[in-house]
């Protein structure tokens, strides 16, 4: 079915081009792609259901599985563009489990298989308008594991949006500054459950050939229309530094605020941070280390289901081996220490204050 859809995307622009002669440079172009990330993970706490807690990646303990697989078709033409990507995997199932379901035509049953479905139009030489389902404008670490410095995503990445549904304006103000404004259904929602839409901005500034600074935010109601509004205001601050040589450095800090009720019940706050250092031993071999912290004392984002809140420090060490240009082998060891016992242990109903896991992954991109 997926193959038929992708092939159909190729035939539509070809048929249009056949009806109206055009120059070689002005016709639409379609580029097909595919990605497959398979993994095996072992969790030291051996969760009894085999579902690893507080993460989307790697989502399962003690089994071989597919983290993420997708097929994509990218279409570009004079003043228009689009992307359709269909996906599957344990990270998909985990990440879309919280997709709202209100009404019968709603929920994750369809939306989880759509990674992106966007259509864009160029309003001006430096200004694009895109609409549909697209990657979130927030954060430093993206949905596709291969594109991140480390294999598994940091806590501030896993607990902030990966996808959005709505419209966005992207303005290339200069060769160094790009600005984006979004109007979306909500905090990582395809299906809507409240009104009005949420909004946010993102700024990416290439301060020098080696340093890029970014800021993004989110502003919107975090509760259903049937409940009192809880206004959420979230911020990301990001720095990426690539000095001459073999090193890469990156740091991200996030802070969120949310009103407890419209009647004025105070404000809940959460925050997190992560820092990375990656050393390329050879063009094919890299080593990456990470330190991080996440603190959600009011359980706004991370709901443990326990009296204890999620307040956690973490560290990881990974090794990346580029076997060939399209084939990447990544192995990572990662550990956590929380202030309270919030990690499910091997016996149902028991919890620990520490957790660790090791994961090895082989990904192929075409």
- Give the pLDDT confidence of 300-336 residue by residue, as tens digits: 999 999 999 999 999 999 999 999 999 999 999 999 9
For the record, the structure tokens of 105 come out as: 């035509």
pLDDT digits (tens, 9 = 90+) for 68-102: 999 999 999 999 999 999 999 999 999 999 998 88
Query: What percentage of the chain carries pLDDT values higher than 70?
Result: 92
Backbone angles phi, psi at 267, to 5 degrees: -130, 130
Give the β-pairing of 267-282 and 247-259: antiparallel
pLDDT of residue 228: 86
Measured between alpha carbons, how far is 234 from 252 in angstroms, rounded to an integer? Answer: 13
Given this model, what pLDDT does residue 123 score?
98
Residue 26's pLDDT band (boundaries 50, 70, 90)? low
CA atoms of 355 and 358, how far apart (whole Å): 11
User: What angle (nearest 5°) sits at the alpha carbon of residue 279, between those of residues 278 and 285?
Assistant: 110
Domains and CATH numbers, the chain: 2-365 (2.40.160.10)
Tokens of 62: 């003690």
Largest Cα–Cα separation, the chain? 69
Mean pLDDT of all residues in 132-152: 97
Query: Cβ contacts of residue 64 below 8 Å, gap of 6+?
Result: 38, 39, 40
Element (DSSP H or E) covering residue 33: strand 29-43
């Amino acid at each position: 079915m997926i193959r038929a859809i992708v092939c159909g995307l190729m035939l539509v622009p070809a048929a249009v081009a056949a009806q109206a002669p055009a120059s070689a440079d002005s016709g639409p172009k379609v580029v097909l792609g595919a990605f497959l990330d398979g993994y095996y993970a072992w969790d030291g706490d051996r969760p009894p259901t085999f579902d690893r807690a507080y993460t989307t990646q790697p989502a399962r303990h003690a089994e071989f599985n597919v983290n993420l697989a997708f097929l994509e078709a990218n279409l570009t033409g004079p003043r228009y563009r689009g992307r359709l990507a269909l996906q599957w995997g344990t990270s998909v199932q985990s990440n879309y489990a919280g997709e709202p379901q209100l009404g019968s035509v709603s929920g994750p049953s369809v939306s989880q298989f759509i990674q992106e479905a966007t259509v864009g139009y160029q309003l001006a030489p430096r200004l694009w308008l895109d609409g549909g389902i697209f990657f979130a404008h927030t954060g430093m670490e993206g949905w596709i594991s291969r594109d991140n410095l480390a294999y598994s995503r940091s806590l501030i990445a896993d607990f902030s949006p990966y996808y959005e549904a709505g419209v966005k304006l992207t303005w290339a103000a200069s060769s160094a500054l790009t600005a984006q404004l979004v109007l979306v259904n909500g905090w990582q929602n395809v299906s809507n459950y409240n009104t009005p839409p949420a909004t946010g901005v993102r700024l990416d500034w290439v301060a020098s050939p080696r340093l890029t600074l970014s800021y993004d935010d989110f502003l919107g109601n975090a509760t259903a229309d049937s409940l009192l509004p809880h206004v959420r205001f979230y911020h990301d601050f990001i720095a990426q530094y690539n000095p001459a040589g073999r090193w890469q450095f990156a740091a991200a800090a996030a802070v969120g605020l949310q009103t407890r009720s419209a009647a004025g019940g105070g404000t809940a706050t959460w925050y997190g941070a992560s820092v990375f250092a990656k050393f390329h031993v050879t063009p094919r071999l890299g080593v990456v280390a990470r330190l991080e912290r996440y603190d959600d004392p009011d359980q706004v984002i991370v709901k443990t289901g326990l009296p204890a809140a999620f307040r956690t420090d973490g560290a990881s060490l990974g090794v990346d081996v580029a076997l060939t240009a399209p084939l990447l082998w990544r192995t990572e060891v990662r550990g956590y220490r929380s202030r309270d016992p919030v990690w499910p242990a091997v016996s149902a109903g028991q919890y620990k204050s520490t957790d660790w896991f090791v994961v090895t992954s082989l990904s192929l991109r075409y």
